[in-house]
Amino acid sequence: MNYFIDHKKKQIHQRQHAGDRCGFVETPVNKREFTDSAAYIEQLITQKMYSMCVYCRSVQIIIE
Write down the pLDDT at residue 26.
87
pLDDT the model gives residue 3: 94
Higher per-residue pLDDT: 53 or 17: 53
Over the stretch 32-64, which tens digit does the pLDDT of each residue have?
A: 999 999 999 999 999 999 999 998 877 655 555
Q: Report pTM.
A: 0.83
Supply the pLDDT for residue 57.
76
What pLDDT score was predicted for residue 59? 62
In this prediction, residues 20-38 reach a mean pLDDT of 92
Q: Are 8 and 1 in contact (CB under 8 A)?
A: no
